[in-house]
Chain A
Amino acid sequence: MKVLALRLMPLFLFIILIGFFWYSLSLDPKKLPSAKLGKPLPNFVLPVLGNPNLKLSQNDLNGKISILNVWASWCSSCVDEQIFLLHLARIGVTIYGLNYKDNQDDAINWLSSWGNPYKLIGSDLDGKVAIDLGVYGAPETFLIDKFGTIRFRYAGVLTSKIWQQEFMPRINEMEHNL
C-alpha cells in the first residue's frame, strides 16, 4: 500500500501543478499591484504645467477624494482614456495630472488637441516623482483619499468598466466611512 502511494506521488504532484497552471491562465504576470497601497503620497513639489511659478505638492491633494493621472504626450494609449477623463471631470471628479517625462510644449499642445480634464498638472520632467509613486509605465491612475493616502492604482487605460469595477466601490466605501 505504501508503495502504491509512492508510485502515485508523481501523478498527485502533477495534478496540483496543473491546478495552479489552470488558475494562472486568468492572471496577468506583467501586472503589478502597487507597493504603495495604504501609504501616504510621497512628498513632492513640482512646477505646474503652463504656469511654472505655481507649484503642485502632495498637500494639494488633501481635503477631498481625488485621482492622480500619470500621462504624457508621447504615450499613445493616453489618448484612449482622455475622453473618459473629460467625462469624469464633467461629473465632478477631481483629477490631478502628473505629466511624466514630457516636453512642456508638446504636453500643452496635446492638451489643446485632446482636452484638459485636470484641475492642476505637475511636470515631472525627470520622472523622479513617478518613481517615488512606483509608476512603471503610462497611463496610470491613482485613487487618493482625503488624507492623501493612496488607496488604489490602476496601470493601463482607464475605461468606464474599470471605473465602475475598481474605483467606484472604493470611493463609495470611503465616503461611507466619513
Chain B
Amino acid sequence: MIAEIGLFALLLALLFAFMLVIVPTLGIIFNKEDWQASVKIYVPLQFFFVALAYLALTVCFLTDDFTVSYVLMNSSKSLPLFYKICAVWGGHEGSMLLWVFILTLWMFAVNLFSKNLFFPLKIRVLIVLGLLSIGFILFIIITSNPYSRQFEILQTVGRDLNPLLQDPGFLFHPPMLYMGYVGFSVAFSFAIAALWLGRVESSWAKWTRPWTLAAWCFLTAGITLGSWWAYRELGWGGWWFWDPVENASFMPWIVGTALIHSLAVAEKREQFIAWTLLLAITAFSLSLVGTFLVRSGVLTSVHAFAVDPERGLYILIFLLVVIGGSLGLFALRAKSVVRVKNLNLISREAALLLNNVFLMVIMLTILMGTVYPLIIDGLGLGKLSVGAPYFNAVFIPLMIPLLILMGFGVQLNWQRDGFKRLYSVLGLVGLLSLFIPALLEIIITKSFNLNVYLGLVLAFWVLLSTLKTLLIRLKISGFMGISLAYLGMVIAHLGLSLTVIGITLSSGYGIESDVKMSPGEHIFFAGFDIRFVSESSLTGANYHGNRAHFMISSNGYEKSIFPEKRIYNVGNIPMTESAIDVSLFRDIYVALGEPINDDSWSVRFYYKPFVRFIWGGGFFIFFGGFLALVDSRYYLKGRKKNKLTFKAKI
C-alpha cells in the first residue's frame, strides 16, 4: 500500500511539474502575469509530493517490505536501521528518486528566496527547472520505477546492501554529491533564463552567485568525503583512482570552480558574461553526462549502477535535448564569446580569464581520457584502457601553470596592475617559496626529491601569496575591513595549497609493504616496530570474519589497531576493514590480505605522511566557499528590485 502511495505521489508531482511549466509559459505568451505567478504555488506542491514519494520508499525499507523488488535487492532483515535509511539510495532507482527529491528541494528554495528577483527572470528560471524535473520524473516512471512489486514467496532475508556501502560515509557522500550536481542546475537555469529573456541584468550575476557557490560547496564536500571514505574503506591506501565515476564528479567541480570565479568578474566588473553563461551550461551538462556514464553501462566502473542500455538511451536523448538545446540557444543568442572589452594583460580580469582557460583545458583533458576507450572501441580500433597512470601523467603538468597563476591572481588589482607593484609584493614571496621547501627537505630528510620539491614550491607559492594578500588587506582596512567573502577566498585558496602539500608528501615519501606474518611476529616498518599480536574470529550484525590485533610502537609511543577481514552473510562477500593509526602528520595503515595456509596472513602496510592534509585542505576549500556564501551582502534588505544601471544585450 505504501509503495503505491509513493508511486501515486510521484505521479502527482509529475502533474504539478507539467503545470509549473505549461501555465507560466502560456502566461508569458499571452502576457498574463497571474498565470506566470502561478509557478509560486506549483513549485511547493511538486516538492511536497516528491517528498512524500521519497518518504514512502523509505518506509518500505524500514518495514522490510520485500514485495517491493528494490527493497529486496538493496536491503536485508538484519541490516542495521541506520543503513536501511541509507539503502534507499543504494541502487539506481532509489538514487534517482533522491536526485529528483533534491532537485525539487532546490526549486523550493529558489522559489522561496527570490522575492526580489527580477520577475521575468524568476519565472523563467523556475520553468527551466520544471522542465528538468519533468525529464527526471518521467525517467523514473518509465525506466526506473523503485516501487515495482514482485510476488514470489521467497525464503530470503533480502540481497542486502552492498557491504562496501555499509559505512557511515555512505550517509553523507551521495547526498552531498547530489546536492552539488543537482545544485548546478540552478546556475544552468539562470543562464538559460537569461538567454531566453535575451538580456542579462546587472543583478543577474549577483543572484546566480550564491546558488552556484552553495552547489559548489556541496560538491566539494561530496568529493572530499568520497576520497576520504575510499581511503578508509577500500583497503588499498589509495584515495583517488581516476575511475570514470570519480571523473564524472570532478569535471563539474572544475567547471564549477571556473564558474564561481567568472561570476565574480561578471558581478564586479560586468564582463565575461558570455563566458559565464557558457560555463553555467557546461557545469550542469557535465553533471548530466556523468549520470549517463554511470548508469548506461558504456564504461566499467566500481561505482556503476545496474547496467541497462534502455536507461542509457533515455538519458542520451535527454542529454541531446537539454544540452544540445542549451548550447544551440547559446550559439544563437550570445553575440560574442571571446571578445572582451579593454582587457589589460596585467589585471585580475585577465588572470581570471586565463584561470578559466586553464580549468577548461584540464576538464577537456579529463573528459577525453575518460571517453577515449569508448571512442576507440566505437571506431572499431580495438580495446584500450586509460587509467590512473595516464591521468596522473597529464593532470600534474597541467596543474603547474594553474598554481603559478594562482599566486599572482590573488594579488592582482582589478582593471590594471603593473609588474613593478607585483614584484615588490611578490618578490619576497617567490624567494621564500623556493627557499623554504629546499631548506625543509635537506635539513629534515637529508635528501632531495625533485618531484616533492616542485610540489612544495608550488604549494608554498600559493600559500604565502594568499597570506600576503590577507596581510595587505589587514594593513589597509583592519579587521573590520575583512568581509566574510574575502576571508572565504583566503581560506579556500589556503585549502588548496594544503591539499597540494598533502598529495606531494604522501605520494613522494609514502611507503608500501606487502608482508607475510603470523601472530607473534613483528616487523620494522617506516621506523616503527609493528607486532602482529593476535588474531581471533568475530561475528557482527550481518557478517562474520577475523579480527587481528596489531601493536605499533616506537620510542615510548604505543598504539593498538584492529584490522578485520569480514565476510558478509548474504552472498558471502569478503571485505577488508583496514585499520589506521591516524595522526595529523602521518597515517599508518594496515590491511589484512588473504590468509595463508597455517595461521599466517598476507598483510599490507602503508606509511602515508601528511595524507590528512589532503582532506583537511578539501574541508578548508568547502569552508571558504561557505563563508563567502553567508556573507551578508547577498542578503541586505531593501535591495533595489530592478537595477538597470547596466544592460548587456546578448
Give the B-binding residues of A (Cβ under 8 A): 3-4, 6-8, 10-11, 14-15, 17-18, 20-30, 32-33
Contact = CB atoms under 8 A, between A and B. Distances in A.
Contacts of B292: 21
B383 A21 contact: no
B378 A27 contact: yes
Nearest to A7: B331
Most buried by A among B289, B319, B375: B375
Contacts of B278: 10
List 3 tightest A-B contacts by C-beta distance, closest first.
Answer: A11-B327, A24-B298, A7-B331
Contacts of B327: 10-11, 14
Interface stretch (B309-317, B405-413, B605-613): B309-317
Contacts of A21: 292, 296, 298, 316, 319, 371, 374
B483 interface: no
Given A17-B371, A18-B316, A18-B324, 12 more contacts: A6-B338, A10-B327, A11-B324, A11-B331, A14-B327, A20-B378, A21-B371, A24-B374, A25-B296, A25-B309, A28-B297, A29-B377
A29 B324 contact: no
29 contacts: A3-B336, A3-B337, A4-B331, A7-B330, A7-B337, A8-B331, A10-B327, A10-B330, A11-B331, A14-B323, A14-B327, A15-B324, A18-B319, A20-B371, A20-B374, A20-B375, A22-B316, A24-B378, A25-B296, A25-B313, A25-B316, A27-B298, A27-B374, A28-B297, A29-B297, A29-B373, A29-B374, A30-B300, A33-B383
B630 interface: no
Interface in B274-297: 278, 282, 285, 289, 292, 296-297
Contacts of A27: 298, 374, 377-378
A152 to B, nearest CB: 16
B334 interface: yes
Most buried by B among A6, A22, A25: A25
A30 to B, nearest CB: 6
A27 B312 CA distance: 12
Contacts of B299: 29
Q: How many B residues touch the partner, as a band?
A: 35 or more
B320 A18 contact: yes
B378 A23 contact: yes
Nearest to A26: B309
B328 interface: yes
B330 A29 contact: no
Contacts of B282: 10
B382 interface: yes
A27 B376 CA distance: 12
Given A14-B324, A20-B378, A29 B300 contact: yes
Contacts of B337: 3, 6-7
Contacts of A18: 316, 319-320, 324
Nearest to A16: B375
Most buried by A among B285, B323, B382: B323
Contacts of A22: 316
Contacts of A24: 298, 374, 377-378
B627 to A, nearest CB: 33
Contacts of B285: 14
Nearest to A4: B331
Contacts of B382: 33
Most buried by A among B292, B296, B374: B374
Most buried by A among B298, B300, B330, B334: B298
A177 to B, nearest CB: 24
A26 to B, nearest CB: 7
Contacts of A28: 297
Contacts of A33: 382-383
A132 to B, nearest CB: 20
A11 B309 contact: no
Given A4-B331, A20-B375, A29 B338 contact: no
A17 B309 CA distance: 17
A155 to B, nearest CB: 12
Nearest to B367: A17
B625 to A, nearest CB: 26
B307 to A, nearest CB: 9
Interface in B248-291: 278, 282, 285, 289
Contacts of A7: 330-331, 334, 337
Nearest to B310: A25
A164 B9 CA distance: 49
A22 B373 CA distance: 14
